[in-house]
Structure 1
Amino acid sequence: MEAATSNPSSKRIALVSGGNKGIGLETCRQLASKGLKVLLTARNEARGLEAVEGVRRSGADVVFHQLDVTDPDSVARLADFVRDQFGKLDILINNAGISGVDRDPVLFAQVQEQVESMDVDQRVQWMKENSKETYEEAKECMRTNYYGAKLVTEALLPLLQLSSSGRIVNVSSGFSLLRNFNSEELKKEFDDIDNLTEKRLEELLDLFLEDFNANLIEAHGWPTGGSSAYKVAKAALNAYTRILAKRFPAMRINCLTPGFVKSDMSMHMGELTLEEGASNLVKVALLPN
């Protein structure tokens, strides 16, 4: 607290996970351009520092701190840094995420010239046909996209509560829609926010991984058609967002899809530019009270 007191700032403080490239980096740029102080975080320190230097060249007020969302010690160090340097946090954007599938970048490079002639459905179909899901990838997808976002959120919630305008934005995906589930019972469980608890939500994720490992995804009504783990992890993140919003009604807690953006996550097959996708995150982060 002493560091924050000795360096008072009237600027709002925004923290972005996975901020060293893609939508995360562009979100940092746009928030800084609107006068916020931005804490850009990334798992790889060298890449994070390089990204910060790039943003600073435009005169932006941005600082870096290392963050691996799957590492409790890394998350704790970040929370200590925010507390000591700023005394509070105004905006948290949980952007860090992984696809949960293996993709061959060489194969993509071979069809890159054809991408512009494909419509959205064709692009998604190509990605589906050329992506491979393994049990290890599925576990890591859950660990990063759901548990990682939750770990960071829980660590920073006390500092967000010290803000007069606390915001949490969880970056989700159109793949997370419950219409992708083939079981009506599962749809109801994920959607029943009046009764769904974090404990039950995580029991459902354990069930998914068990079914994945036993090749029972289709039989038990989980999403199929590729990226199953990603769809379930993001659906869980949506549900967790709604649980949080119910627990903390004074804060603005939302999840959104930035759209089908040209980024590493979409193998640059998306339709929207990074600027367009990031602007959607920024709009939600800066919603009025």
Structure 2
Amino acid sequence: MMKKAAIVTGANRGLGFETCRQLAKRDIQVILTSRDEAKGKAAVEKLQAEGLNVVAHPLDVTNAESIEHLAQFIRNQFGRLDILVNNAGIARDPLGDSEGSIFNAKVSTICETMETNLHGPLLLCQALIPLMKHHYGRVVNVSSGAGQLSDMKTGFPAYRMSKTALNALTRVFANELQGTNILVNSVCPGWVRTDMGGSNATRSVEQGVETIVWLATLPDDGPTGGFFRDRQPIPW
């Protein structure tokens, strides 16, 4: 039986890198993608040194041509895809209180954030879910509690709106794929010590990816269209 094949976006560091490690430890063929090709190759070399089955491929999630090159690579090398982890994301909001006000939010910042955090996952799902064959597929959209409408606060407006929109994308795809055994879920990894989360964050990277990996390897009777933290559903 062929190994399952997984793609993790934005995976040269942080949550994406650790997700690649944990999936590869489960005997899954992992394609580690990153915008910077050299950083992606360096990350893969680290994982290969641990004896893990990981290959690198460049990917700019905001570029449709780059996404199509990735899809063609998967078709040629593996013939199918089983797992897609949409991890690549950016946070471009200014950090100061006054700059973080919605009254000062720049449309250009919102557009840039949406392009990576929403349009990228949309294009990837459109291109790669059709490669999920044999009545099996798992899609994990790495979201954030900052996008919860039920707990919406001020600050980081572009980031918040992009993650709320990503959650909507999860629901729409999950609904359209009902009955296909392609399960689509959102995850809040929590506040994690990464380059984006900062050194004061409360969670290790290993803790952050635990639910991502759980959703990426759900059994056939697993949930779809859900939003999870610590393997538990949380409000939208």
Please give the TM-score of this superposition, normalised by the length of structure 1: 0.71
For residues 227-255 of structure 1, give each alpha carbon's deviation from its aligned partner in whole angstroms, at most 9, with x where no partner exists: 11111111111111111011001211111
Structure 2 distance, partners of 1:21, 1:131, is 26
- Does residue 142 (structure 1) correspond to residue 114 (structure 2)? The answer is yes
Amino acid of the structure 2 residue aligned with 1:286: T
Match of 1:158 in 2: 130
Match of 2:26 in 1: 34
Structure 2 distance, partners of 1:83, 1:157, is 12
Q: How many residues align structurally?
A: 215
Change over 3 Å in CA distance of 1:145–1:64 after alignment to 2: same
- Alignment counterpart, residue 272 of structure 1, candidates 194, 203, 219: 203
User: CA RMSD for the aligned pairs?
Assistant: 1.8
Match of 1:254 in 2: 185
Match of 1:216 in 2: none
Change over 3 Å in CA distance of 1:226–1:28 after alignment to 2: same
What pairs with 1:54-203 in structure 2 (closer than 5 Å)? 54-102=46-94, 134-160=106-132, 162-181=133-152
Structure 1 distance, partners of 2:99, 2:168, is 29
Deviation (angstroms), 1:128: 5.3
Deviation (angstroms), 1:170: 0.3
Structure 1 distance, partners of 2:199, 2:75, is 37
Identity score, percent: 42
Deviation (angstroms), 1:266: 1.6
Contact 2:192-2:198 within 8 A present in 1 as well? no
Change over 3 Å in CA distance of 1:267–1:154 after alignment to 2: same
Deviation (angstroms), 1:140: 0.7
Q: Which has the higher Rg, Structure 1 or Structure 2?
A: 1
Per the alignment, in what secondary structure is the counterpart of residue 89 of structure 1? coil
Structure 1: gaps (5+ residues): 1-8, 104-126, 182-223
Structure 2 distance, partners of 1:279, 1:128, is 32
Contact 2:118-2:162 within 8 A present in 1 as well? yes
Please give the TM-score of this superposition, normalised by the length of structure 2: 0.86
- Does residue 233 (structure 1) correspond to residue 205 (structure 2)? The answer is no
Deviation (angstroms), 1:147: 0.5
Deviation (angstroms), 1:153: 1.1
Contact 1:128-1:227 within 8 A present in 2 as well? no
Contact 1:128-1:225 within 8 A present in 2 as well? no
Per the alignment, in what secondary structure is the counterpart of residue 98 of structure 1? coil
Deviation (angstroms), 1:175: 0.5
For residues 264-286 of structure 1, give each alpha carbon's deviation from its aligned partner in whole angstroms, at most 9, with x where no partner exists: 22223321100110111001111
For residues 66-118 of structure 1, give each alpha carbon's deviation from its aligned partner in whole angstroms, at most 9, with x where no partner exists: 00000011001001001111110000000000012245xxxxxxxxxxxxxxx
Change over 3 Å in CA distance of 1:163–1:68 after alignment to 2: farther
Match of 1:21 in 2: 13
Deviation (angstroms), 1:260: 1.2
Amino acid of the structure 2 residue aligned with 1:142: M
Contact 2:100-2:154 within 8 A present in 1 as well? no
Bigger RCO of structures 1 and 2 (CA < 8 A, at least 6 apart): 1
More helix by share: 1
